Chain A
Amino acid sequence: MDKRQREQYLREYGILKAQGKPFFPYAILKDGTMAMITLIVIILMSLILGAELGPKADPTTTSYTPRPEWYFFFLFELLRVIKPPALVFIATVGIPTVCMVLLILLPFIDRNPERHPARRPIATLTAVTVIALMAYLTVEGALAGAPGQITLKVAPQYAKGKAVAASSGCQGCHKIGENGNAGPGPPLTHIGARLPRNAIARTLVNPTAPMPSFVNLQKQHPDQFNALVDFLASLK
Chain B
Amino acid sequence: MKLPSPPGLRRKPPRPGSEPAKNGNRINGAPAPTKKELKQAQRAKLKEQALEVPISMLGWLDERTGSTPFLRAFLFRKVPKGTNWYYTLGSATMFAFVNQAVTGVFLAMYYDPSSTQAYGSIRHIINDVWLGSFVRGMHKWGATVMVVLVFLHMGRVFFFGAYKYPRELNWIIGVVLLILTMAMAFTGYLLPFDQRSFWATVVGVNINASGPIVGPYLADFLRGGSEFGATTLSRFYAIHMLLIPGLIAALIGAHLYLVSKLGTTAPPWLKAEKARELAEEEI
Q: What distance in Å separates the Cβ of A41 from its nearest Cβ neighbour in chain B? A: 6
B92 touching A23 by the CB < 8 A rule? no
Which range holds the interface residue count of chain B?
Answer: 35 or more
Write the A63-95 contact mask toward B (1 if CB under 8 angstroms, else 0).
Answer: 011111111100000010000000011001100
A50 touching B92 by the CB < 8 A rule? no
Known: A12-B279, A53-B123. A115 touches B268 (CB 8 A): yes
Q: What distance in Å separates the Cβ of A235 from its nearest Cβ neighbour in chain B? A: 26
Contacts of A57 in B (CB 8 A): 115, 119, 193-195, 197-199
A30 within 8 Å of B (CB atoms): yes
Q: What distance in Å separates the Cβ of A150 from its nearest Cβ neighbour in chain B? A: 19
A71 touching B144 by the CB < 8 A rule? yes
> Chain A interface secondary structure, helix, strand, loop or mixed?
helix
A116 touching B207 by the CB < 8 A rule? no
A residues lining the B interface (CB < 8 Å): 1, 6, 9-13, 15-28, 30-31, 33-35, 37-39, 41-43, 45-47, 49-51, 53-59, 61, 64-72, 79, 88-89, 92-93, 97, 100, 103-104, 106-108, 110, 113-117, 120, 123-124, 127, 131
Known: A53-B123, A66-B202. A33 touches B88 (CB 8 A): yes
B99 touching A56 by the CB < 8 A rule? no
B207 touching A92 by the CB < 8 A rule? yes
Q: When chains A and B are docked, how far (Å) is the Cα of A204 from the Cα of B273? A: 75
B residues lining the A interface (CB < 8 Å): 1, 74-83, 85, 87-89, 91-92, 95-96, 99, 115, 119, 122-123, 126, 133-134, 136-145, 147-149, 155, 158-168, 171-172, 175-176, 178-179, 182, 185-186, 189, 192-200, 202-204, 207-208, 210-212, 215, 228, 263, 265-266, 268-271, 275-276, 278-279
B271 touching A56 by the CB < 8 A rule? no
Q: What distance in Å separates the Cβ of A203 from its nearest Cβ neighbour in chain B? A: 25
B1 touching A25 by the CB < 8 A rule? yes
Nearest to B93 among chain A residues (CB) is A38
Q: Number of A-B pairs whose CB atoms are under 8 Å? A: 240
B195 touching A54 by the CB < 8 A rule? yes
Nearest to B134 among chain A residues (CB) is A46
* A20-B80, A30-B85 given; 19 more Cβ-contact pairs under 8 Å: A19-B278, A21-B79, A22-B76, A33-B88, A38-B95, A45-B137, A46-B141, A51-B139, A57-B115, A57-B197, A61-B195, A66-B200, A66-B202, A67-B200, A72-B186, A93-B215, A107-B163, A120-B161, A123-B158
A27 touching B83 by the CB < 8 A rule? yes
B138 touching A127 by the CB < 8 A rule? no
A51 touching B133 by the CB < 8 A rule? yes
Q: When chains A and B are docked, how far (Å) is the Cα of A189 from the Cα of B202? A: 27
Listed by A's residue number, 18 A-B pairs whose Cβ atoms lie within 8 Å are A10-B166, A15-B275, A16-B80, A16-B275, A19-B80, A24-B76, A31-B91, A34-B89, A35-B92, A35-B95, A41-B145, A42-B99, A46-B134, A56-B194, A57-B199, A93-B215, A104-B175, A127-B155
Q: What distance in Å separates the Cβ of B58 from its nearest Cβ neighbour in chain A? A: 16
Q: When chains A and B are docked, how far (Å) is the Cα of A9 from the Cα of B89? A: 24
> Chain B interface secondary structure, helix, strand, loop or mixed?
helix
Partner of B81, one of A19, A42, A110: A19
B141 touching A16 by the CB < 8 A rule? no
A114 touching B161 by the CB < 8 A rule? yes
Q: When chains A and B are docked, how far (Å) is the Cα of A19 from the Cα of B85? A: 18
A17 touching B195 by the CB < 8 A rule? no
Q: What distance in Å separates the Cβ of A65 from its nearest Cβ neighbour in chain B? A: 8
Partner of B95, one of A20, A39, A114: A39
Contacts of A69 in B (CB 8 A): 143-144, 185, 189, 200
Ordered nearest first, which 8 A-B pairs have the shortest CB separation? A46-B137, A115-B161, A57-B198, A66-B199, A93-B211, A34-B88, A107-B168, A45-B141
Nearest to A89 among chain B residues (CB) is B210
Q: What distance in Å separates the Cβ of A95 from its nearest Cβ neighbour in chain B? A: 12
Q: When chains A and B are docked, how far (Å) is the Cα of A30 from the Cα of B164? A: 25
A20 touching B185 by the CB < 8 A rule? no
Q: When chains A and B are docked, how far (Å) is the Cα of A72 from the Cα of B39? A: 70
Nearest to A108 among chain B residues (CB) is B168
Q: What distance in Å separates the Cβ of A87 from its nearest Cβ neighbour in chain B? A: 11
Q: When chains A and B are docked, how far (Å) is the Cα of A129 from the Cα of B117? A: 46
Nearest to A75 among chain B residues (CB) is B207
Contacts of A79 in B (CB 8 A): 207
Nearest to B186 among chain A residues (CB) is A72
Known: A108-B168, A120-B161. A43 touches B138 (CB 8 A): yes
Q: What distance in Å separates the Cβ of A19 from its nearest Cβ neighbour in chain B? A: 4
Q: What distance in Å separates the Cβ of B98 from its nearest Cβ neighbour in chain A? A: 9
Nearest to B266 among chain A residues (CB) is A16
B78 touching A104 by the CB < 8 A rule? no
Contacts of A54 in B (CB 8 A): 194-197
Nearest to B162 among chain A residues (CB) is A115
Q: What distance in Å separates the Cβ of A79 from its nearest Cβ neighbour in chain B? A: 7
